[in-house]
Amino acid sequence: MNSIDIINKTKRRQPLSADEITWLVNEYTAGNVPDYQMSVWLMAVCLNGLTDQETVSLTAAMRDTGDILDLSGIGGITADKHSTGGVGDKTSLIIGPAAAACGLNVPKMSGRGLGHTGGTIDKLESISGYRTELPFEEFEAVVKQTGFSIISQSGNLCPADKKIYALRNATGTVDSIPLICASIMSKKLALNADCILLDVKYGSGAFMKTREEARKLADLMEKVGTAAGKKCRALVTDMNTPLGKNVGNALEVKEAVEILRNKTKGKLYDLCIELTANMLELAGKGTLQECAELAEDAIASGKALEVFRRTIELHGGDPRIADDVSLLPQAKYSYEIKAAADIRITAVNSEEIGMTSLLLGAGRTEKDGEIDMSAGIVMNCECGEHLAAGDTIMTLYSSAVSDFSSAALRALNAVSFTEIS
Ligand code: URA
């Protein structure tokens, strides 16, 4: 086998065999296929696509380049959840504890912020002391005790994805449905939970800009998960506007705690119930309606909050944040953007809100840059909401930036509204 024949086949839309795909992935990961050959193959995939069977083979080949976790020691049913990423998406911090409180085991590995989207690991690191890197035995022990743990991706899980993702980032080959599917699903299959629930986002703040594209990705991910013997379901959900009110690491943990404390309802709460219910149903805990009731009860009873508190404690974090969110990092500076007239909000651009939050310090502008855990935005501007002149549209927070003028302009540009006369 050789790379040129493989590149030519994909260029001519001739399907590759599983052996050819495995050869390419293994040889690239081992450093025997150069970046320039892998880059043109990736571009050929972007332009011509892959068959579903080729995507199944690519995902399996990538999974098999590293460790595949053995979760059998945890016992019970294990369930994993993945969101394709967005702005203000703190659902893992709510769904994991809620599902665990209903009897599932949720061992989860998450990533850091990417571009304008936040990452669950960064959010958890805003909790003083929380260790996101645990050896497998400790991760397993936390899940056995509380039913829930989130750690960062372990060193030897899908090394092929690490290398290919970095190359895609540098060659304009990220936005391909089969490549996104293989990248995400290879990591999910390496984690190896019994059930996989996928939340595929579409809209201004997501990788997939339209509902149709997101549905295509969701269908393909379900196919790949099922072909690998998993119970797998993919929902398609809206990321045209940020999820919830808070964007930024500590601010998002605060909002998650408020939901777990049963203090806040609304779209974020509803989505968390829907996702938890689907996870429970996938795991055989009842009908979707029964599972939604179980999820609501897990939050209303305080059981989900207790799982979160105990998990934080076992990770070395300060569990008191579950009762007192003022113990989370607080910004030194803040700036309120107020309505100049009576207005009705018509749209909020997630990507622009995510970028503003990043520029306030909540995300990285360089690969290993420092994050200001206190930075971000609290929005008071849901679509359809009426605000009177002088009302706060949103508040910007930062400990790194005290001059908010450019951030405020960008944030305000992200909000569309009509004046009410
Ligand atoms: N997240 C991933 O892990 N991989 C992709 O390709 C896109 C989003």
User: How does pLDDT run across 50-106, given as a tens digit for each residue?
Assistant: 999 999 999 999 999 999 999 999 999 999 999 988 899 999 999 999 999 999 999
Cα 297 from Cα 52, distance rounded (Å): 40
pLDDT value at position 323? 96
Tell me which residue has its CA closest to atom 5 in ligand 1.
180
The token pair that represents 185 in the structure block = 């699903």
Overall pTM surpassing 0.95 (yes/no): no
Residue 198's φ and ψ, nearest 5 degrees, are -115, 135
Q: Pick from 115-119, 168-172, 368-372, 393-397 the range whose average pLDDT is largest.
A: 393-397
Sequence-ordered list of residues with C-beta below 8 angstroms from that of 413, at least 6 positions apart, any chain = 352
Which atom of ligand 1 approaches the CA of 180 most closely?
A: 6
Strand 386-387, strand 231-238: pairing: unpaired
Return the closest-CA partner of residue 311 out of 157, 94, 79, 155: 94
pLDDT at residue number 152: 92
Q: Whose CA is nearest to atom 2 of ligand 1?
A: 184
The rounded mean pLDDT for the chain is 95
Domains and CATH numbers, the chain: 3-49 (1.20.970.10), 72-322 (3.40.1030.10), 330-419 (3.90.1170.30)
Ligand 1: residue whose CA is nearest its atom 3: 184
Per-residue pLDDT tens digits for 216-251: 999 999 999 999 999 999 999 998 899 999 999 999
The confidence score (pLDDT) of residue 263 equals 93
Secondary structure class of 379 (helix, strand, coil): strand
Rounded to whole angstroms, the Cα distance separating 24 from 38 reads: 8
Q: Provide residues with CB under 6 Å of ligand 1.
A: 84, 165, 174, 180, 183-184, 207
Report CA torsion sign: 298, 302, 307, 309: positive
- Rounded CA separation 373/213 (Å): 33
Residue 156 · residue 320 · CB < 8 Å? no
Tokens 């991760």 sit on residue: 139
Which alpha helices (DSSP H) does 52-176 contain, by range?
52-63, 92-101, 120-124, 136-146, 159-171
Q: What is the pLDDT of residues 262-272, one digit of tens each?
A: 999 999 999 99
User: How many percent of the chain have pLDDT more than 70?
Assistant: 100
pLDDT digits (tens, 9 = 90+) for 283-329: 999 999 999 999 999 999 999 999 999 999 999 999 999 999 999 99
Spatial distance between the Cα atoms of 71 and 142, rounded to a whole number of angstroms: 12
Ligand 1 atom closest to residue 187's alpha carbon, by position in its atom list = 3
Active site residues: 82, 161, 168, 183, 187
Pocket test for ligand 1, best of 45, 46, 84, 221 (most atoms within 8 A of CB): 84
Ligand 1 centre to CA of 180 (Å) is 5
Protein residue closest via CA to atom 7 of ligand 1: 180
Tokens 């294990």, residue located: 78
pLDDT per position as a tens digit, 291-301: 999 999 999 99
Q: Return d(Cα 364, Cα 192) in angstroms, integer.
A: 30
Collect all residues with Cβ–Cβ distance below 8 Å to 249 and sequence separation of at least 6: 118, 122, 123, 125, 126, 329, 362, 371, 373, 375, 376
Measured from the CA of 182, which atom of ligand 1 is nearest? 6
Span 14-32, mean pLDDT? 98
Measured distance CA(393)–CA(271) in Å, rounded: 23
Predicted confidence (pLDDT) per residue in 105-137, tens digit: 999 999 887 777 778 999 999 999 999 999 999
Looking at residue 134, its pLDDT comes to 95
